Amino acid sequence: MVFIVNRIGDQELSYLRWSKVKKVDGVLIVTGNINKPNIIELVNSDIPAVSVDILMENLVTVISDDELGVKLGVDYAVKSGLKRLGCVSGPLTSRAFFERLSAFERILASHGMEFNQKFFVEAESYGFTGGYNATTKLLKNCDEIPDFLFAFSDEIAFGVIRSIEDAGYKVPQDISVIGYDDIYLSKHFTPSLTTIYQDKKQIGEVAAQKLLDIIEGNKPLKKKVERIPVSLIMRKSTI
């Protein structure tokens, strides 16, 4: 079981070739980009593999329940009386961000609300700067600002909050913000970040056990995809 890099010394190898050179028993795949040819080649090989991110037909995957996570956030916003719901995603080449955006649209529809394209923006990168720049762009292009923004990662959410404040608005009085991940800094940020908690330890443990089961051939795998429950952590960035 390994985490893969694709370089040995100065020689660059495909993930599949690297695995064969090292004679690995199995691979735990941790990546957000489902479009990498090297990943697809590896998944389609005979090397046992389990992913904690990619969804592919012939790949065992352990992931957070993104549908539930987005539902918890949107349901809270609706129950709080918020009407203009928007979201800030990371790059949609990431499975997680794509899944969360799709869930956001579905759950809005379940509440009889339309997805307003003006209240959606895709950040160009995964962190604070991406969230800041994306939100600055969103606010400049809106005649009426959203009263709720769901940031699809905590690091993006930090940038979202600072952009809102730099534009002269207040969090949560003008715009409530929810993040996703519950990283350590979330409870120490100002304002502290309401967020969706993912149990990454459990994800890793379940994925590792599934990989061992495949390698050892001891147990038939009943589920190709196992979704680990999430929860809403309430803090000061929402009303």
Identify the band that residue 230 occupies on the pLDDT scale cut at 50, 70 and 90.
very high
Which residue in 194, 179, 178, 203 sits closest to 64, CA to CA? 203
Q: According to the model, what pLDDT value does residue 221 have?
A: 67
As a whole number of angstroms, the distance between CA 235 and CA 34 comes to 33
- Let me know: does 174 contact 237? Beta carbons within 8 Å: no
Least trusted range by pLDDT, from 52-61, 63-72, 189-198: 52-61
| 4, pLDDT greater than 80 | no
Of 19 and 121, more confident:
121
Segment 106-113 mean pLDDT: 98
Q: Percentage of the chain with pLDDT > 70? A: 90
List, in order of start, the domains of the chain with CATH numbers: 7-63+199-228 (3.40.50.2300), 66-197 (3.40.50.2300)
| 156, pLDDT greater than 70 | yes
The dihedral region occupied by 107, where left means phi > 0, alpha psi between -120 and 50, and beta the remainder, is alpha
Least trusted range by pLDDT, from 106-110, 158-162, 204-208: 204-208
As a whole number of angstroms, the distance between CA 27 and CA 105 comes to 34
As a whole number of angstroms, the distance between CA 146 and CA 189 comes to 22
Cβ–Cβ contacts within 10 Å for residue 216, how many? 11
Of 223 and 71, more confident:
71
Locate tokens 């002269």: which residue?
Answer: 168
Question: Three-class SS string for 147-198?
Answer: CEEEECCHHHHHHHHHHHHHCCCCCCCCCEEEEEECCHHHHCCCCCCEEEEC
What's the predicted TM-score (pTM) here? 0.87
Segment 139-168 mean pLDDT: 98
Segment 68-91 mean pLDDT: 98
Stated as kind and residue range, the H or E segment containing 132 is helix 128-140
Three-state DSSP at 17 gives: helix
As a whole number of angstroms, the distance between CA 30 and CA 62 comes to 11
Identify the band that residue 38 occupies on the pLDDT scale cut at 50, 70 and 90.
confident
- Let me know: does 34 contact 41? Beta carbons within 8 Å: no
Identify the band that residue 13 occupies on the pLDDT scale cut at 50, 70 and 90.
low
Q: According to the model, what pLDDT value does residue 2 have?
A: 52
Q: According to the model, what pLDDT value does residue 8 have?
A: 47
Q: Which two tokens stand for residue 102?
A: 């799709």
Q: Percentage of the chain with pLDDT > 90? A: 67
Sign of CA dihedral 157, 107, 140, 143: negative
- Rounded to 5°, the CA angle 37-54-181 comes to 130
- Let me know: does 158 contact 189? Beta carbons within 8 Å: yes
